[in-house]
Amino acid sequence: MPSLIHARGLIKRFGDFTAVDGIDVDVRRGEAFGFLGPNGAGKSSTMRMIGCVSPPTGGVLEILGLDPVRDGPRIRAKLGVCPQLDNLDIELTVRENLTTYARFFGIPRKVARRRADELLDFVQLAERAGSKVEPLSGGMKRRLTIARALVNEPEIVLLDEPTTGLDPQARHLVWERLFRLKQQGVTLVLTTHYMDEAEQLCDRLVVMDGGRIVATGSPRELITRYSTREVVELRFNAESQQPYADKLDGVGERVEVLPDRVLLYVHDGDEATAEVHRRSLSPASVLVRRSSLEDVFLHLTGRTLVD
Amino acid sequence: MLAVLEYHLVNYRRTWRGSALSSLVLPLLTMLGFGIGVGAYVPGGVDGVPYLDWIVPGLIASTAVQTAIGEATWPVLSSFEWLKVYFAQAAAPLRVRDILGGHLAYMVFRVLISAAAFLAIAAAFGTLHSWWSPLALPVAMLVGLAVAGPTAAYAATITSDSYLVILLRFAILPMSLFSGVFFPVESLPVVLRWIAYALPLWHGVDLSRAAMLGLDPGGLGLVHALYLIAWCAAGCLLAHIRYRRRLVI
Amino acid sequence: MVTFVLPRLVSFEGMGRRSASVTERNLATLRSAYWIVMVSGFLEPVLYLFSIGIGVGGLVGDIALPGGEVVGYAEFVAPAMLAASAMTGALSETTFNFFGKMKFMRLYEGILATPVRPIEIALGELAWAMVRGVLYSAAFLVIMVLLDLTTWPRALAMFPATILVGFAFGGLGMAVSTLIRSWQDFDLIAAGQFALFLFSGTFVPLTAYPEALRWLVEITPLYRSVHLIRGLSTGTTGWAQLIDVAYLLILLAAGLAVAGRRMTRLLCK
C-alpha cells in the first residue's frame, strides 16, 4: 500500500538552526500517526512542511503522491489542519467560521451550510452556532477548530498539539471525537508531548528529539522494546536521591535517578518493592505502575518529556 | 489620582516619540502646506491679518482637540475592554475619581505639550502678534478637557471600536472643519453656524485667536471661557458616572 | 480548458475563485456598527470639499490652471479630494486592517492551510478595498455634479480613473504593510499620507511650490492621481494624462509583486 505521506531525509533549517534534521516518515491510509517529543523537537516544523506552508530545505517529501512545493494548493485541498494555537476568525460567528472556510476550498455555499451544521453537531457546538468565537471556552474553540479542519472532508487531518492547554474534561471530549474520526477511516497525523494522548490515539508513532527520529513503532512495541513491564517510583526524603539509587544497584533491569525520585525498571513491581525493603531502605512513598511512553522517552534521551 | 497620573506618564516615556510625530509634525505640515500654500492665494488675508497668521491660533486649538481625542478614545476603550488597565487600578485602593482624574490629567498634560510645541514653532515663523500669545496654552488645555471628558464618557459606554470611528467621522471631523479654523464661521449658513457655536472648538479657536493676534475679546471672551468650563464640568461628571457604572459592580 | 504553459509557480487555474473567496469572507463580517463605519467613509471627502472647497474657497476666489483656464476654487479642489479619498480608502484597508488580520488576528495562517495562496489573499483583500472605494467615488462624483463642479460626461470619465487610483494605492499599501514591524510604524505611514495629502497639488497649483519641492511633488503617486483626475474633471486632458495612467499601472503591478513575494516569505517560513 503506498503511503499518504512519504519523507526521506527531510530537512528544515532556519538560518543556522536545524529544526528538522533528516527524518524518514511513512504514514499509511487510515492510521493515526503521532510525532511525540518535547517542545523544540521539530514536530511543528515537520507539520508545517506537511501542511505545505513551509518549503523543505532538503530531502524528499511527497504528500498524496504530490510535491508540496509545486502542488501546494492541490494537496491542501485534501488536508485538514488544526494548528497548535487556534486561529479562528473572531469577526465571524461559530457557524460562519465553518461556512466561510469552506468557501476557501471552493465548496458551493449550499453544501457548505449543510456541512457546517453536520460538523457543529459532530463537535457538539450546534447550540452555539450563532455565537461569536470570543466567549467560547478553550475546549469549545479547539473543537470548532477541529470542525473547521474537517469542512473539506479531508483525506488527512493534521493536528498540532490538539489538547495542549485544555483542562482534563475538555481533553477527553476532544480525544473521543478524534477517536470517532479514526473509526470513520480518516487518516490522522498529530503531534503531542503528552504520553497519554499518544497512547490513546496513535496506532504508530515516531519519537523525536533535537530534530531527529530516535524510535519508531506502535506505543506497545516501543514500550516492549525500550522499557520493562513495570516501574517502581520511589521518593526519598532527602536533598539528593543519588545515594539511595546507589544502594539499589542490581534491583531490576535499570535504575533512573530524577531530581525528585528514583525509577526502578523491573518485570515485577511487587517483588522489586520487597527487595527495596530487604535492603532496609525506607522511601517516603512507593508507586508501582505499568511502563509508559514517558519511560521510553526517558530511556532514549535521558530526559523527561514535560519539564 | 497622582499615582494614576504617574502611571500614564511612565507609559508616555516609552511612546512619546510616536506621539510627538503625530502631535507635532502633522500640525507643522498643515501650517506649511495649507497656511503658506493656500495663504498665497488669499491676497488680503482675513480681517487684515495674513492668512497663515490667522489660521495658526485655530490650528493650535484644533491640535489640542485632536490630542485630547486621541487619548480619550482608543486608550480608554482599551483600558476597559482589552488591556483592562482600569480594572487593575480599581483593584488597588483607588477611587473611580482617582482613576478618571488621573487619566484626564494626563490627557491635559499631553494637550499642553503639543500646544506648547506648536506655539514655539509658530513663534519661530513670526506669526505671533501679541505678548498675550502664551494665553493660548491655558485655552488649549481648557478646550482639550472640554472634549476629553464627554469623549471618555462615550468610550466608557461602548464595547466595539467601530463606534469610535463613527464618533470621529460624524462629530470630531466636522467640528474640526467647520469651527472657524480654516475660514470664519460667519460665512457658514445660519443653521451650521449655530451648530458651530454650540460645539466647544469654536470657542477655543476664538479665544486662542484673540490671544495670539492681540485682539480684545471683550465680554465674549468671558462667555467663551465660561462655556468651555461648563463643557469640562459636564463632561467630567458624565464620565464619572459612566466609569462608576463599569468599575463598581 | 486552455492550460497555460507558464512557469509552474504561476498557475492561474482557480486563482480568481480563490481570491474571491477571501473577499467573500470580508463581506460576511459586515455587522451593524461596521456597516455604518463603512458607509460613513464616504462622508470624509465630502466634508473636506465643503470646508475647504467652499468655505476657504470664499476667501481664495478663482484659480488659474497651467493651461490658462480659470476655475473656481471648489472646482479646483474637488477632483483632488476625490483622488485623496481614493488613496485614503485604499490605504486604510490595505495597511491597518491588512496588518491587523495578518499579525493580530492571525487570520491568514488559517486561510493558508487551504488551497488559497498568499498572492490570492493579497488580490482578495485588494478587491475588497476596491469595492468600498468604488462606492465612495461614485457617491462623491454624484455630489460634484450636483454642486455643478463638473459635468455628467466628465464624471463618467473620472470614474474609471478613480478606480485605477484606488488600485494603485491598494497595491502600494499592501506592499508597505508587509514591511511593517509594529503598530508604531502606522504613525509614520499616517504622517507620510498626510504630507502627500497636503503637498500633492491638492490645495494649490504646483506652480506655488518652490522649484526643488515641485520636482519632488511631480513624482509622488498622489500628485499623478490628482493631475489625472483634475485633467478629466476640468476638461483639460492631454498626453500628460497618459503618463499618469502608465505611472499608476506600474505602481499597481510593482506593489502586488512585492506584496505577494513578501507575504510568502512572512507566512510560509
Mean pLDDT over each residue of chain B, to the nearest integer = 90
Task: Report d(CA A162, CA A138) in Å as an integer.
Answer: 11
pLDDT of residue C4: 37
Residue A253 CA: distances (Å) to CA of A223, A230, A264 = 14, 11, 8
Examine chains B and A and say if they touch (3+ CB pairs below 8 A): no
pLDDT of residue A1: 58
Residues B116-162 pLDDT 10s? 999 998 998 888 888 999 999 999 999 999 999 999 999 999 988 88
pLDDT of residue A38: 82
Query: Would the CA dihedral through B1, B6, B9, B14 be positive or negative?
Result: negative
Are A53 and C113 a contacting pair at CB < 8 A? yes
Phi, psi of C118 (to 5 degrees): -50, -45
Residues A157-185 pLDDT 10s? 999 988 888 888 888 888 888 999 999 98
Q: What is the CATH number of the domain that holds A185?
A: 3.40.50.300
The three-point CA angle C187-C191-C195 to 5° equals: 170
**Nearby residues of C257 by Cβ (< 8 Å), 6 or more positions away:** none
pLDDT of residue C113: 87
Asked whether residue A296 is assigned to any structural domain, the reply reads no
Q: What is the pTM assigned to this prediction?
A: 0.78
Owning domain of residue A264: 228-290
Asked if A151 and A71 sit in the same domain, the reply is yes
Asked whether residue A302 is assigned to any structural domain, the reply reads no
Asked if A147 and A267 sit in the same domain, the reply is no
Asked if A257 and A114 sit in the same domain, the reply is no
Asked whether residue A59 is assigned to any structural domain, the reply reads yes
- Position C3 pLDDT exceeds 50: no
Task: Report d(CA A267, CA A252) in Å as an integer.
Answer: 7
- Helix, coil or strand: residue C4: coil
Q: Show the cell assigned to C168.
A: 494603485
- Confirm if B101 and B89 have CB atoms less than 8 A apart: no
In chain B, the number of structural domains is: 1
Are C105 and A91 a contacting pair at CB < 8 A? yes
Cβ–Cβ pairs < 8 A, chains A and C: 79
With CA atoms as reference, report the closest residue to A18 among A56, A51, A48. A56
Residue of chain B minimizing CA distance to C48: B177
Mean pLDDT, range B96-102, rounded to an integer: 92
Residues C149-205 pLDDT 10s? 999 999 999 999 999 999 999 999 988 888 887 777 887 888 888 889 989 989 988
Which residues on C lie below 8 Å from B166 (Cβ)? 33, 36-37, 40
- Position B211 pLDDT exceeds 90: yes
Interface of A with C in 49-78 (CB under 8 A): 51, 53-55, 70, 72-74, 76-77
Q: How far is B192 from chain C (nearest CA, A)?
A: 12
Q: Does C63 touch chain B (CB under 8 A)?
A: yes
- Confirm if A38 and A303 have CB atoms less than 8 A apart: yes
Residues C131-163 pLDDT 10s? 888 888 999 999 999 999 999 999 999 999 999
Q: Give the H/E segment covering residue C182.
A: none
Q: Does A105 touch chain C (CB under 8 A)?
A: yes
**Nearby residues of B17 by Cβ (< 8 Å), 6 or more positions away:** none
Which residues on B lie below 8 Å from C43 (Cβ)? 169-170, 173
Are B169 and C43 a contacting pair at CB < 8 A? yes
Task: Report d(CA A148, CA A141) in Å as an integer.
Answer: 10
* Cα-Cα end-to-end distance for chain A: 39
pLDDT of residue C13: 65
Asked if A255 and A192 sit in the same domain, the reply is no
Are C187 and B19 a contacting pair at CB < 8 A? yes
Residue A307: band (very low, low, confident or very high) from pLDDT cuts 50, 70, 90 = low
Instruction: Write the residue in C41, C59, C204 that is nearest to B183 by C-beta.
Output: C59
Residue of chain A minimizing CA distance to C102: A87
Residues B5-52 pLDDT 10s? 888 888 887 777 666 766 677 778 888 888 888 888 888 888 889 999
Residues A205-214 pLDDT 10s? 999 998 999 9
The three-state (H, E, C) secondary structure of B139-207, written as one string: HHHHHHHHHHHHHHHHHCCCCCCHHHHHHHHHHHHHHHHCCCCCCCHHHCCHHHHHHHHHCHHHHHHHH
Residue A306: band (very low, low, confident or very high) from pLDDT cuts 50, 70, 90 = low
Residue C1: band (very low, low, confident or very high) from pLDDT cuts 50, 70, 90 = very low
Are B37 and C198 a contacting pair at CB < 8 A? yes
Q: What is the CATH number of the domain that holds A238?
A: 3.30.70
Asked whether residue A282 is assigned to any structural domain, the reply reads yes
Most confident of C39-48, C51-60, C255-264: C51-60
- Position C8 pLDDT exceeds 60: no
- Confirm if A49 and A23 have CB atoms less than 8 A apart: no
In chain A, the number of structural domains is: 2
Work out whether strand A5-14 and strand A17-27 pair parallel, antiparallel, or are unpaired. antiparallel
Residue A163 CA: distances (Å) to CA of A85, A193, A202, B155 = 10, 10, 14, 38
Asked if A212 and A239 sit in the same domain, the reply is no
Asked whether residue A299 is assigned to any structural domain, the reply reads no
Most confident of B168-182, C80-94, C115-129: B168-182
Asked whether residue A305 is assigned to any structural domain, the reply reads no
- Position C39 pLDDT exceeds 80: no
Are C116 and A92 a contacting pair at CB < 8 A? no
